[in-house]
Amino acid sequence: MIEVRNLTRYYGEFAALTDVSFKVTEGQVIGLLGRNGAGKSTTLKILAGLIPPSSGTVTVDGIDMVAEPHRLRSRIGYLPEDPPVYEDMTVTSFVRHIGRMKGMSASEVDARLPEVLATAALGGRENQVIGTLSHGYRKRVGIAQAVIANPRLVILDEPTSGLDPVQIRDMRKVIRDLAKGRVVMVSSHILREVEQTCDWLLVLRDGKLVAQGTEEALTADQNRKMQIVVRGDANTLVEWLTKHPAVEDAVTRPMSDGTTSAVVTLRADAREQLAADLIAAGFGLRELRGAGDALEEVFLGLASGKAGAA
């Protein structure tokens, strides 16, 4: 339903985005990952209709963004990192105003308003002046304005930034609810957030799409990496590990308490087998766990260009 083909954007001579293509269908929350300057904001701005691509196409339900930007803007909801709100208006009057600005009739806006306020969890704040709301509630107002026109694509730039843990938990639910019947695209630096809310991930590096897929697919390789801590000599351990058929690579480090720590890369996901064999071989197994945050490892690898997961 949303198709991006060979999207390229130049700022002068600088290529902020190069040949990015992806396709997403409704009902999905898409996570856009990448370091600062990777091209996330440029992608979101093009999708939101704020700037045109230098080349390439974006189509939403078959409507071309470049050819018919005015027509497409009513089908896209956009919430930047800082929610754009008129502080002197009440929540209801503001959302109603945005609905009208998206081309809805007054009766259409009134009919949709209760559902939107419920989706954004703004119950009880309808008549409050926005300037008196907390940052978390302003984000919710921002979401309400983004979805009032029932858009096919909702773009949320860092939707959980500046929120407290309770608000973050609530926001996750709001984002999941938004995806019903539409595509939600989320940009975030917080990998845990992306992990918990997104169905499909797009990883950008230097303006190029370097990986895409589900979190499980992107982190599959990481399940082959594990960290172990055993009671025993480092040399003995590394000798044993290199002879083990399931081990591809191992790096050991003696610890001050007489134990040895090792980061082990397996040929396949054979974690249970390795644990059993270690104990059988007489190593005192103290610890066995995944080698760090799987998604973080993938992200850091992809973002720095040092690894090629997925």
Partner 1 sequence: MYTFTVARRDLGAYLHGYAGYVILSAALFITGLLFQVRGLGAGAQYSHDILETFFENCGGLVMITSILLTMRSLAEERQMGTDVLLFTSPASDLQVVLGKYLAALGVLTIMLALTVYMPALIFVNGKVSPAHIATGYLGLFALGSATIAIGIASSSLFKSQLPAGILAAVVVVTMLLGWMLSDKTDAPFTDVLAYVAYWDKHFTTFQEGRLHVRDLVYYGSITFIGLLFATKVQEGRRWA
* Ramachandran bin of 205, using left for φ above 0, alpha for ψ from -120 to 50, beta for the remaining angles: beta
Q: Which is nearer to partner 1, 108 or 170 (CB)?
A: 108
d(CA 162, CA 156): 14
Q: Which region among 21-29, 74-82, 168-176, 207-215 touches partner 1 (by CB under 8 A)?
A: 74-82
CB atoms within 10 A of CB 61: 12
> Does residue number 49 form part of the binding site for partner 1 (CB under 8 A)?
yes
The answer to whether 110 contacts partner 1 (rule: CB under 8 A) is no
At residue 173, φ and ψ (nearest 5 deg) are -65, -40
Using the contact rule CB under 8 A, the part of the chain among 24-32, 65-73, 215-223, 255-263 near partner 1 is 65-73
Which residue matches tokens 């979190």?
215
Q: Which is nearer to partner 1, 84 or 282 (CB)?
A: 84
Question: Going by DSSP bridges, is the β-strand pair 29-33/200-205 parallel, antiparallel, or unpaired?
Answer: parallel
CA 136 to chain centre: 19
Residues 64 and 55: their CA atoms lie apart, in Å, by 12
CB 45, min distance to partner 1, A: 10
Cα-to-chain-centroid distance, residue 82: 18
Q: Least distance (Å) from partner 1 to the CB of residue 164?
A: 22
**Binding residues for partner 1 restricted to 140-159, rule: CB under 8 A:** 145
* Binding flag, residue 74, partner 1 (CB under 8 A): yes
| Binding segment (CB under 8 A) for partner 1, from list 42-50, 179-187, 201-209, 251-259 | 42-50
Q: Which two tokens stand for residue 11?
A: 């700022």
Interface residue list for partner 1 (CB under 8 A)? 48-52, 70-71, 73-74, 76, 78, 80, 82, 84-89, 93, 97-98, 100-103, 145
